[in-house]
Amino acid sequence: MRPSRRAPDELRPVSLERGVVKYAEGSCMVKFGDTHVLVTATLEERLPPWLKGQGRGWVTAEYGMLPRATLERTRREASAGKQGGRTVEIQRLIGRSLRAAVDLEALGERQITVDCDVIQADGGTRTASITGAWVALADCINWMKTRNMLKANVLRDNVAAISCGIYQGTPVLDLDYAEDSEADTDANFVMTGDGRIIEVQGTAEKTPFSEGEFLALMALARKGVARLVDLQKIAVA
Amino acid sequence: MRPSRRAPDELRPVSLERGVVKYAEGSCMVKFGDTHVLVTATLEERLPPWLKGQGRGWVTAEYGMLPRATLERTRREASAGKQGGRTVEIQRLIGRSLRAAVDLEALGERQITVDCDVIQADGGTRTASITGAWVALADCINWMKTRNMLKANVLRDNVAAISCGIYQGTPVLDLDYAEDSEADTDANFVMTGDGRIIEVQGTAEKTPFSEGEFLALMALARKGVARLVDLQKIAVA
Amino acid sequence: MRPSRRAPDELRPVSLERGVVKYAEGSCMVKFGDTHVLVTATLEERLPPWLKGQGRGWVTAEYGMLPRATLERTRREASAGKQGGRTVEIQRLIGRSLRAAVDLEALGERQITVDCDVIQADGGTRTASITGAWVALADCINWMKTRNMLKANVLRDNVAAISCGIYQGTPVLDLDYAEDSEADTDANFVMTGDGRIIEVQGTAEKTPFSEGEFLALMALARKGVARLVDLQKIAVA
Amino acid sequence: MRPSRRAPDELRPVSLERGVVKYAEGSCMVKFGDTHVLVTATLEERLPPWLKGQGRGWVTAEYGMLPRATLERTRREASAGKQGGRTVEIQRLIGRSLRAAVDLEALGERQITVDCDVIQADGGTRTASITGAWVALADCINWMKTRNMLKANVLRDNVAAISCGIYQGTPVLDLDYAEDSEADTDANFVMTGDGRIIEVQGTAEKTPFSEGEFLALMALARKGVARLVDLQKIAVA
Amino acid sequence: MRPSRRAPDELRPVSLERGVVKYAEGSCMVKFGDTHVLVTATLEERLPPWLKGQGRGWVTAEYGMLPRATLERTRREASAGKQGGRTVEIQRLIGRSLRAAVDLEALGERQITVDCDVIQADGGTRTASITGAWVALADCINWMKTRNMLKANVLRDNVAAISCGIYQGTPVLDLDYAEDSEADTDANFVMTGDGRIIEVQGTAEKTPFSEGEFLALMALARKGVARLVDLQKIAVA
Amino acid sequence: MRPSRRAPDELRPVSLERGVVKYAEGSCMVKFGDTHVLVTATLEERLPPWLKGQGRGWVTAEYGMLPRATLERTRREASAGKQGGRTVEIQRLIGRSLRAAVDLEALGERQITVDCDVIQADGGTRTASITGAWVALADCINWMKTRNMLKANVLRDNVAAISCGIYQGTPVLDLDYAEDSEADTDANFVMTGDGRIIEVQGTAEKTPFSEGEFLALMALARKGVARLVDLQKIAVA
């Protein structure tokens, strides 16, 4: 029995609310249960120096947590003077995941920066971030389309992400914090709308896992991502 | 005529929503028009080293802005590696303002940290932060009271803040960004529920101002703060 | 009775010595009693990037304290790796105060940097800095005039600053450290030669203050600034 | 045809040389072809503060590259003032991977720090680091055993790692730089001596991959890790 | 002919003014011609962690330059966020030089920090700093003696320093900036009152030098230091 | 008797192995006994901004130690976030020493960066670094010659360095760590192939030394450097 009484293959209630801040070209408040992330997409007509003059654009991401998004207050990274290793890992993952679905040549020499700021954290902040980021990114690209800034299709497919893990011997979908802190194995899957894999990260927190266990997690993830992609489609419709 | 068509002594619509995040001992989403700040109050049973063993507590504040709270994206301070001068100034002001209404001896050897994170900025983020911070602080102190952690009254009075300025020759209350970027003179007033002054900061952006002009701003501020204190009382009732 | 036996409206002995270092375009050793600040003004034919090509110049300030300017040694900020919040606040105040008296268009596309380094601190370092900075700035502008670098008048008026506070119930002028560390209320006033206000900052250290108290402080400040402006005029004559 | 003319399931020549520096409790120069990493294991009788008094030890890792380990010189991180995101990601992976094979209670309240410094980089520095780190760690634990510092077995199993990828449509084992920079998909597998998985990281560099492709990579990895574990056993025999 | 018209073995006018700031236990304004350094010595009843409990004290030094001590303004190190390499080199030299003349056991478990802040720089700031630092240190130790804090003699000998160089083929003493920027060879000598050497640093700026040239510089330095030690003795008498 | 049983004027076994990494334009593994330093020379067609357009090149150096190069593990500077004072001192010394033997005009508008990374430290890391750096630099310049990138001779002479010290009253050559930590006096000499001096640094660790003692050290150094230069000539032949 999961602490939340969910079935093993049951997502938390998911919501994707668009247009939540007034300045950003795209934005989304994504909620996976009690995990709430505010995502914005910013379009800028400039590129990082190493990318200039190559006829293509860039999508990058930054991630942060409000200090009291967590049970205990976490030190503010701006005050600590640097981003922690976990933050760096997550924002690199988000950026890579989004770029896998974007035609950077079609974007042109521009940069879209996706900011994912966790308002409240109850496990799965990185998967919620990616799932919501796709919505903000889609809105940003629509914003460009309505201004005739794009000639070709930029967004090739949906991108969504979900975590899975082995909790008390059972593979379960979409771990919340209570499960995540107990799970033997924890994996994050980023997948496209057509069911292919963009990124897989599986970690044995305590005991190494078998290939069979891993495949069970992947099957759950595929199911969860399909549901998230449906919700994305409804949101941007 | 003000860009927002408000009367010179008219506040923007103000809302103070409590309990907006689930972990913090106190929290408040404060809105002054399109300026939205999420404030949390965190209680910790520890003190900064220089304050230990003196039989009294501490209230401090940190301030931040989400990168796309602003019209143009602002660089994330955690990524830049340090808090800017403006951030430092504002968070010191918030901390001082709150401490002026708190009996630190009655609080005991504990620290309350108030985090003010700007979700959307349209002028007056520091005054909205202070006004909302008082609500989050009050809730945090109530949280302690219900757990019998306090013997005496900690919160001596309400604290609220408002900006005033001279816009196109007229003293006006509660400047939004359109006014603030044009105003000749800009002043922030932090006041208590009984109408006394905690902090005054007035700056001549372009031309120095006279004592008469300054007094006109202070009169407006007194009116605005009285209204904000009423709203705080309703919010925490 | 004030610790220094001064009358409530009596400044400490003030001196403004010009030309104290050999390389700077303008310099001033300013002393308010035992508070000694060495100010230099540096002219550079370059601008911060965000100001280029707008046909006007810039005046900025930096502030520092020698480690043993204080009773106890203060950690060297260069060694700590960053400027503290108080330093940042003060140098921003000095810069704003000077700019309010300068015609930036008339200055042309150049930057004047005013460095205020506290040799010895006995309260009022920011007000002494501003008062001395005006003298160094005036000398720097004279240096430019004698080289025919300016077509119009750059310096519109004198700028001087003084602190006031309520010490043991009495409003007093120009607090020294003994008074400042005891005062209930502490305010700094930056004013022009013609008696207008550039910046006001009033803070209730312990108990909030009334409008009447604040006006009493402002009246004292006006008197003090008038005296400082006289001394500036004598100094640059 | 692979640039190195290797068969798809062929590792580069691997060597694991122990005892390469004189002070460390364990050390290993690991070479995967032209990728050379010097690994040391340091035993210290102290723990990070958050782990004190819990009756168990810790294994952590740090990673670095000499500036000219790469084709073009890379900026020295000590001079840049911070470790880059890639460095942080890799050293966290190495630490997690090793901890999965260590009985931290049996280790006692001590810390082993594994330093992986890349002398020359030709792809696969993280997998070579993990594989060599296990050897240095094993030697460090042997060093403790010969001094009767351990009561129980600390090292539960071997740990080795290898990369796989899809190069020009074919799944291949142990990518060198020429392949890695061209590969569509890149995955790293960390596995134990008994064939279970500690960590999986798969990334679609260009086009998302299917589950079938991923399973092909995992099969290759299993084969490669088995070979590496054999070489580790020979090395420490 | 030297730019200053001095004889090859002639020092610039030297002055050593004691007691120039009111809080420090020892202080000295040292002038070597137009090079002016303010030195303070601070006594603290604490030690760096690595020295605690060893029954001896420590003497350390920090060095800084006011931004406009130089012909062109130098960036403030506190603002740049770190001390430059030259600063670090010089402050380590000053610390080592002073410690060579101090009986650290006799000092007891205390630290004396010597701060050398360059008010105006015209070459030789490190040698002026050391020479003045000895005076401030001697005053600090006297301050302790008059409070019966010391049982034995702490200061074993005088310490002074001077630069020499080969300017247009001629060995000269005490280089000013005009000479220093032209000199082929530049050497700094730190010596004791009895003529022994504490530190020698000689650098060929352009062409390597011979042993004979170096000995000529050392002979000049011996003469210069003897004169400086005489002036120190007069200053502290 | 020296701990290593060497004669007073006897170097440790020295080796200079070229071409030890595959990417660098020049490289050398230099060993002075148990002190091992990996040196690489990198050629880049760019210059520091302050040197652009002056028709000459630059040679600079960076120095680092692997964390477990030392008996106790040293904190990684990249992780600490800055290079320590000792590191900065040493890398400046290496850069100056090499530049003294290079014709920067003949080099052209290019930069050669020499990286010295200490693999194992047993005293004399800076002298081994300089001696090995000359070999790497020579190879880098040869690399340029074989590509017809140079019109004139760039390298004017050999550069080598050695330490000397007074150990238990006797002047000895090439101190190892056991001697260095005990020595009364420690000096480093950087000399050219023709016996002239580039840099001398002598420090009295405990008691000041006499001119006679210093000359004895310099005589030893001359002998040691001559031997090192012979070995360099054999290495690059």
Q: Note the pLDDT of residue D132.
A: 98
Specify burial of residue E46 (Cβ count, 10 A radius: 0-12, 13-18, 19+): exposed
Count CB pairs under 8 A between chains C and E. Answer: 88
Does the beta carbon of A155 lie under 8 angstroms from any beta carbon of chain D?
A: no
Q: Note the pLDDT of residue C149.
A: 96
Q: Note the pLDDT of residue A85.
A: 87
Q: Note the pLDDT of residue F224.
A: 98
What is the average per-residue pLDDT within B42-56? Answer: 93
CB F183 within 8 A of CB F213: no
What is the average per-residue pLDDT within F97-124? Answer: 96
pLDDT band at residue F67 under the 50/70/90 scheme: very high
Q: Is the pLDDT of residue E192 over 90?
A: yes
Nearest by CB to E208, from F197, F207, F214: name it.
F197
Instruction: Give the range among C197-206, E190-199, F111-120 with minimum mean pLDDT.
Output: C197-206
Q: Note the pLDDT of residue C216.
A: 96
pLDDT band at residue C110 under the 50/70/90 scheme: very high
Look up the ipTM and state it: 0.95
What is the average per-residue pLDDT within B56-75? Answer: 97
Does the beta carbon of E25 lie under 8 angstroms from any beta carbon of chain C?
A: no
Q: Which residues of E touch C63 (CB under 8 A)?
A: none
Q: What's the rounded Cα separation, in Å, for the pair D160 and D157? A: 10
CB atoms within 10 A of CB E88: 22
- Answer left, alpha or beta for residue E108, where phi above 0 means left and psi between -120 and 50 means alpha: left
Q: What's the rounded Cα separation, in Å, for the pair D178 and F160? A: 39
pLDDT in tens, B204-235: 877 899 999 999 999 999 999 999 999 999 99
CB E52 within 8 A of CB E109: yes
Q: Note the pLDDT of residue F82.
A: 86
CB atoms within 10 A of CB E203: 21
Q: Which pTM does this prediction carry?
A: 0.88
Q: Note the pLDDT of residue F144.
A: 97
Does the beta carbon of E87 lie under 8 angstroms from any beta carbon of chain C?
A: yes
> CA of F170, closest CA in chain D: separation in Å?
29
Does the beta carbon of A223 lie under 8 angstroms from any beta carbon of chain D?
A: no
Q: Which two tokens stand for residue A89?
A: 């890992």
In order, the DSSP letters of E171-232 are EEES--HHHHTT-SEEEEEEEETTS-EEEEEEEESSS-B-HHHHHHHHHHHHHHHHHHHHHH
The rounded mean pLDDT for chain F is: 95
CB atoms C200 and B214 under 8 Å: yes
CB atoms within 10 A of CB A209: 25
**Is the dihedral angle over the CA atoms B4, B6, B11, B14 positive or is it negative?**
negative
* Residue environment code for F111-129, b if the CB has 16+ CB neighbours within 10 A, otherwise e: bbbbbbbbbbbbbbbbbbb
Q: Closest Cα partner for A154 from A196, A99, A215? A: A99
CB atoms E76 and C115 under 8 Å: yes
3-state class (DSSP) for residue F231: helix
The rounded mean pLDDT for chain B is: 95
Chain position carrying tokens 């919700």: A231
pLDDT in tens, D92-127: 999 999 999 999 999 999 999 999 999 999 999 999
pLDDT band at residue C81 under the 50/70/90 scheme: confident
Chain position carrying tokens 């190559």: A54
pLDDT band at residue F213 under the 50/70/90 scheme: very high
Does the beta carbon of B230 lie under 8 angstroms from any beta carbon of chain A?
A: no
Specify burial of residue C13 (Cβ count, 10 A radius: 0-12, 13-18, 19+): exposed
> Most distant CA pair in chain B: distance in Å?
56
Q: Is the pLDDT of residue B191 over 80?
A: yes
Residues for chain E: how many in total?
237
CB atoms within 10 A of CB D199: 23
Q: What's the rounded Cα separation, in Å, for the pair F215 and F7? A: 19
Nearest by CB to A64, from B40, B73, B78: name it.
B78
Residues for chain A: how many in total?
237
CB B149 within 8 A of CB B44: no
Could you say which residues of chain A have pLDDT below 70?
none
What is the average per-residue pLDDT within C145-154? Answer: 94
Strand duo A159-167 + C26-32: pairing: unpaired
Sheet with B197-204, strands from edge to edge, namely B170-173, B159-167, B185-192, B197-204, C197-204, C185-192, C159-167, C170-173
| Contacts of D215-220 spanning 24+ positions with Cβ under 8 A | D216/D171, D217/D164, D217/D165, D217/D166, D217/D171, D217/D185, D217/D187, D217/D189, D218/A211, D218/D164, D218/D187, D218/D189, D220/D8, D220/D9, D220/D164, D220/D171, D220/D172, D220/D173
Q: Is the pLDDT of residue D205 over 90?
A: no
Q: What's the rounded Cα separation, in Å, for the pair B215 and C212? A: 11
CB atoms C40 and E81 under 8 Å: no
Q: What's the rounded Cα separation, in Å, for the pair E3 and B202? A: 54
Binding residues of E for phosphate: 86, 124-126
What dihedral do alpha carbons F191, F197, F198, F199 form, nearest 10°? 100
pLDDT band at residue D66 under the 50/70/90 scheme: very high
Q: Which amino acid is at A42?
A: T
Does the beta carbon of B22 lie under 8 angstroms from any beta carbon of chain A?
A: yes
Residues 6+ apart with CB under 8 A from A11: A32, A162, A173, A174, A224, A227, A228
Residues 6+ apart with CB under 8 A from A88: D85, D88, D89
Residues 6+ apart with CB under 8 A from B184: B165, B166, B167, B204, B205, B206, B207, B209
pLDDT in tens, A115-161: 999 999 999 999 999 999 999 999 999 999 999 999 999 999 999 99
Q: Closest Cα partner for B166 from B200, B119, B217, B131? A: B217
Nearest by CB to E89, from F89, F192, F199: name it.
F89
Classify D12-234 by CATH class.
alpha beta
Strand partners for C164? C173, C187
Residue D126 labeled ligand binder: yes
The separation between CA F107 and the C-alpha centre of its own chain, rounded to angstroms, equals: 21
What is the average per-residue pLDDT within F215-225? Answer: 96
Residues 6+ apart with CB under 8 A from D28: D16, D17, D18, D20, D38, D39, D132, D133, D135, D136, D139, D235
Residues 6+ apart with CB under 8 A from A72: none
Q: Note the pLDDT of residue E109.
A: 96
All structural domains of chain E with their residue ranges: 12-234
Nearest by CB to C197, from B100, B196, B209: name it.
B209
> CA of B233, closest CA in chain A: separation in Å?
25
Residue A68 labeled ligand binder: no
Strand partners for A155? A102
CB atoms C38 and E66 under 8 Å: yes
Pick F207 or C148 by higher pLDDT. Answer: C148
A202, containing H or E segment: strand A197-204
Q: Which two tokens stand for residue F190?
A: 């950087």
Q: What's the rounded Cα separation, in Å, for the pair E180 and E173? A: 11
Residue of C37, C73, C111, C119 to mutate for E, most E C-beta atoms under 10 A: C73
What is the average per-residue pLDDT within E214-236? Answer: 97
3-state class (DSSP) for residue E84: coil
> Most distant CA pair in chain C: distance in Å?
56
Q: Note the pLDDT of residue B20.
A: 97
Chain position carrying tokens 């040292």: E30
Residues 6+ apart with CB under 8 A from E57: E47, E104, E105, E107, E108, E109, E110, E111, E112
Does the beta carbon of B40 lie under 8 angstroms from any beta carbon of chain A?
A: yes
* Residue environment code for E105-140, b if the CB has 16+ CB neighbours within 10 A, otherwise e: ebbbbbbbbbbbbbbbbbbbbbbbbbbbbbbbbbbb
Nearest by CB to F81, from D40, D81, D117: name it.
D81
Q: What's the rounded Cα separation, in Å, for the pair B48 and B51? A: 6
Specify burial of residue B166 (Cβ count, 10 A radius: 0-12, 13-18, 19+): buried
Q: Which two tokens stand for residue F65?
A: 């130690």
Q: Is the pLDDT of residue B1 over 90?
A: no
CB C115 within 8 A of CB C21: no
Task: From residue D6, give the alpha-carbon distance in Å to each of B150, D162, D179.
Answer: 74, 15, 11
CB E161 within 8 A of CB E147: no
Q: What is the DSSP secondary structure assignment for residue B80, as one 8-state letter?
A: H
CB atoms F21 and D68 under 8 Å: yes
Task: From residue F146, give the alpha-carbon distance in Å to each of A40, A225, C11, E175.
Answer: 55, 59, 77, 44
| Contacts of B72-80 spanning 24+ positions with Cβ under 8 A | B73/A42, B73/A44, B73/A113, B73/A115, B76/A62, B76/A64, B76/A78, B76/A115, B77/A78, B78/A64, B78/A76, B78/A77, B78/A78, B78/A80, B78/A82, B78/A83, B78/A87, B79/A62, B79/A83, B80/A78
Q: What is the DSSP secondary structure assignment for residue A209, as one 8-state letter?
A: B
CB E27 within 8 A of CB E18: yes
CB atoms within 10 A of CB D63: 29
pLDDT band at residue F205 under the 50/70/90 scheme: confident
